[in-house]
Structure 1
Amino acid sequence: MTEQRGLQEFFDDPATIATRHKMSASASEPVGQAELLALEPGAAERFVTLGLDYPERFGPSELRTAIAAKYSSVPFDGVLITSGLDEGLALLFTALIEPRDRVIVLTPCYPPHLLLPEWRGAEIVPWPARPENDWVPDLDELAGLLSKPTKAVITTFPQNPTGFMPDEAYLSAFLALLERSGTVLLSDEIYAGLPDGTAAPNLADRYLKAVSLHGLSKTCGLPGLRLGWLASRDEKMMGAVKQVKDLFNCYVPAPVAFLAGVAFRNETKLIRRNSDILEASIMAVEEFIARHGNLFSWVPPGAGTVAFPRWHGPGGTQALSDQLVREASIALAPSLCFDAGDDHVRFGMCRRSFPDSLAALEKFLSSAL
């Protein structure tokens, strides 16, 4: 009998940590500090002489300006730097959501999208993307859900874990529904930017009551930097969030801000690096599934670093995942980690090691089935 675990529990399990092949990591290939500093002449020398006095409140103006420049209509004061996107989500739900508020959550999703409103005492209403619809969330269904008073809708585009990325027609129809209802949108865009040339949704530019959430972890390969941000044109919402952040920690550590500045100035190079890695992995998955269509099928991701292949083999993916950890030193997150049934797994494909890990999975399948 297998035990259902959450996503973070899966990654924190010592058995998972000890595996050789990590197939479900959602961030891009991590960039080393030396590699990052080498992108900019003189950066390494400036970094070691960096002062460590109190930094500017809410982050350096230069960094906030660089983030605001990613949007066409978000002002400087509409940007709030956070310690990764986890802090950003916590700040938003603390500031904006109250007990008995109704919150619609696009699912499957990053588990805190469900756990944080639950912690705040909100009524959680799932808006499910379904495999039989190629993971495209039904807008008619959303319209029905919005017929009742709703405090907020939270989405992820590109979606984690499915890789769904809406096209322009879909986004226009989606935003029209929100405009009619006047509902706040919390738009998690942390996976936007890969592969190279994929435009970010930047929904804060397109809807006044939207907050766009992004960061440097997934697309730039800097999850250890813990640098995220919120962007919005809604002054009242952002003021409420800043009040909450001010109660805890309104500073960005100077070393983090320095390295983030280097990343922003060299973002094109980082995105190109990680796009090459991602494209090689997607090609490897397509070839793998062509050989093993009896065991796996998938909807290729529209954008982002993750995909959600379906398992057609014996048993569920929780049992498969447990067996892979024990017998093949492979960490592959099952869909139960996302409360999304027991017949999918999450591929995290923007790692140089992913094609080799896929080969290890193929070797296991050939011997075990």
Structure 2
Amino acid sequence: MTKQRGLQEFFDDPATIAARHKMSASASEPVGQAELLALEPDAAEQFIDLGLDYPERFGPSTLRTAIAARFNSVPFDGVLITSGLDEGLALLATALIEPTDRVIVLTPCYPQHLLLPEWRGAEIVPWPARPENNWVPDLDELAGLLSNPTKAVIATFPQNPTGFMPDEAYLFTFLALLERSGTLLFSDEIYAGLPADTAVPRLADRYEKAVSLHGLSKTCGLPGLRFGWLASRDMETMRALTRLKDLFNCYVPAPVAFLADIAFRNEEKLIRRNSDILEASIKATEAFITRHNNLFSWVPPRAGTVAFPRWHGPGGTQALSDRMVSEASIALAPSRCFDAGDEHVRFGLCRRSFPDSLAALEKFISSAL
């Protein structure tokens, strides 16, 4: 009998760590220090000479200013730098969610979107994106959910793991529903920006009670840097978040800030690099699914780095995942990791190795099924 595991448990499993083919990574192809430092003259020498005294509280003003400049209406004090988005999500849940609050969460999702409000004692109300609707979440359903008092809505655009990205008409209606109810919005935009030239929602610009979350992990390929941020023009909310962060650690390590500064100045180059990788993987996936449409189908992602193909073969994807890692050294996260049934897997498309991993998957299904 297979055992259901959470997403982090899946990635922490020794078999996943040892697997030759890792097919579910959500971050773009990681950038090495040498590659990042090579983007600017003398950056390597400056990095070696970097002082390690106490850094500026709450992160360098230059970086907070650069983040605020991405928005039309978010002030300098409306930006809070975090250690990746995990810290940002934890700050939001701890500062703003209280026991008995009602929180609507777009699902399937990054598990912490559910686990953190649950830890705070909130009532979790799923707002499901469904495969029969091509993963487009139903706005009429959201309107019904918002008819009861709700503290916050947590949504990810582009959505993890489905790749759904709303168009302008969808966002207009979505935000109108929130404005009518006055509900807080935690807008996880960590996957926004890929492919190149796709829009970033920046919903903090468009709704006063929205907090936009972003970072350098997914689109820039810097997950090990642990650099994220929260942005909002709701200053009462931002003051609450800043006070909470000040209780624990209000500093951004100087080496992290130095490397993040380079990434910000060269973001377009990093996005183009990763967009090329993503495009190659999407083409390879389209060809793979065409060849094996008796076993797989998918809704191609509208944006972001991940997709959620459906398995039509024998058994569920948990059993398939267990077999693949043990028999073919292929690590592929099943949909149970997202509490989303047993019929889908998450493809992490923005890795150079992904087409080769698809070939390994093709070999496995051709010989073992």
What TM-score range do you get, normalising by the shorter chain? over 0.9
Distance in 1 between the 2:319 and 2:158 partners?
28
SS of the residue corresponding to residue 191 of structure 1 reads coil
Distance in 1 between the 2:278 and 2:223 partners?
17
SS of the residue corresponding to residue 357 of structure 2 reads helix
SS of the residue corresponding to residue 211 of structure 1 reads strand
* 1:346-366 Cα distance to aligned partner (Å, 9 max, x none): 000000000000000000011
* 1:138-182 Cα distance to aligned partner (Å, 9 max, x none): 000000000000000000000000000000000000000000000
Distance in 2 between the 1:199 and 1:305 partners?
14
The aligned counterpart of 1:177 is 177
In the TM superposition, residue 270 of structure 1 has moved relative to its aligned partner by 0.1
Distance in 2 between the 1:46 and 1:205 partners?
35
Distance in 2 between the 1:233 and 1:34 partners?
37
Distance in 2 between the 1:69 and 1:28 partners?
24
The aligned counterpart of 1:120 is 120
Q: How does 1:236-275 map to 2 (within 5 A)?
A: 236-275=236-275
Distance in 2 between the 1:77 and 1:39 partners?
30
SS of the residue corresponding to residue 80 of structure 1 reads strand
In the TM superposition, residue 257 of structure 1 has moved relative to its aligned partner by 0.2
The aligned counterpart of 1:220 is 220
In the TM superposition, residue 302 of structure 1 has moved relative to its aligned partner by 0.4
List runs of 5+ in structure 2 lacking aligned partners: none
SS of the residue corresponding to residue 105 of structure 2 reads strand
The aligned counterpart of 2:317 is 317
AA matched with 1:330? I
AA matched with 2:89? L
Distance in 2 between the 1:293 and 1:123 partners?
40
The aligned counterpart of 2:361 is 361
In the TM superposition, residue 71 of structure 1 has moved relative to its aligned partner by 1.2
AA matched with 1:220? C
Distance in 2 between the 1:57 and 1:100 partners?
34
Distance in 1 between the 2:269 and 2:368 partners?
42
In the TM superposition, residue 33 of structure 1 has moved relative to its aligned partner by 0.2
* 1:231-259 Cα distance to aligned partner (Å, 9 max, x none): 00000000000111000000000000000
* 1:46-69 Cα distance to aligned partner (Å, 9 max, x none): 111111110000000001111111
Distance in 1 between the 2:96 and 2:264 partners?
29
AA matched with 2:61? S
The aligned counterpart of 1:229 is 229
The aligned counterpart of 1:92 is 92
AA matched with 2:115? L
When the two chains are superposed, the root-mean-square deviation of aligned CA atoms in Å is 0.4
AA matched with 1:138? D
The aligned counterpart of 1:335 is 335
In the TM superposition, residue 301 of structure 1 has moved relative to its aligned partner by 0.2
In the TM superposition, residue 116 of structure 1 has moved relative to its aligned partner by 0.1
Distance in 2 between the 1:355 and 1:82 partners?
33
Distance in 1 between the 2:150 and 2:281 partners?
40
AA matched with 2:249? N
In the TM superposition, residue 84 of structure 1 has moved relative to its aligned partner by 0.3
Q: TM-score, normalised by structure 1?
A: 1.00
* Structure 1 stretches of 4+ moved >4 Å: none
In the TM superposition, residue 288 of structure 1 has moved relative to its aligned partner by 0.2
The aligned counterpart of 2:16 is 16
List runs of 5+ in structure 1 lacking aligned partners: none
SS of the residue corresponding to residue 155 of structure 1 reads strand
SS of the residue corresponding to residue 241 of structure 1 reads helix
AA matched with 2:137? P
In the TM superposition, residue 186 of structure 1 has moved relative to its aligned partner by 0.2
The aligned counterpart of 1:149 is 149
SS of the residue corresponding to residue 51 of structure 2 reads coil
The aligned counterpart of 2:292 is 292
The aligned counterpart of 2:25 is 25
Whether 1:50 and 2:50 are equivalent positions in the alignment is yes
Q: How does 1:182-201 map to 2 (within 5 A)?
A: 182-201=182-201
Identical pairs, percent: 86
SS of the residue corresponding to residue 154 of structure 1 reads strand
Distance in 2 between the 1:244 and 1:132 partners?
42
Distance in 2 between the 1:261 and 1:41 partners?
14
The aligned counterpart of 2:308 is 308
Whether 1:283 and 2:283 are equivalent positions in the alignment is yes
Comparing 68-77 with 290-299, which one deviates more in the overlay? 68-77
Distance in 1 between the 2:234 and 2:7 partners?
32
SS of the residue corresponding to residue 169 of structure 2 reads helix
In the TM superposition, residue 313 of structure 1 has moved relative to its aligned partner by 0.2
SS of the residue corresponding to residue 363 of structure 2 reads helix
In the TM superposition, residue 70 of structure 1 has moved relative to its aligned partner by 1.3
Q: TM-score, normalised by structure 2?
A: 1.00
Distance in 1 between the 2:74 and 2:322 partners?
46
Distance in 2 between the 1:104 and 1:7 partners?
21
The aligned counterpart of 1:207 is 207
The aligned counterpart of 2:111 is 111
In the TM superposition, residue 72 of structure 1 has moved relative to its aligned partner by 1.4
In the TM superposition, residue 219 of structure 1 has moved relative to its aligned partner by 0.1
In the TM superposition, residue 324 of structure 1 has moved relative to its aligned partner by 0.3
SS of the residue corresponding to residue 106 of structure 1 reads strand
Count, aligned residues: 369
Distance in 1 between the 2:70 and 2:5 partners?
37
SS of the residue corresponding to residue 65 of structure 1 reads helix
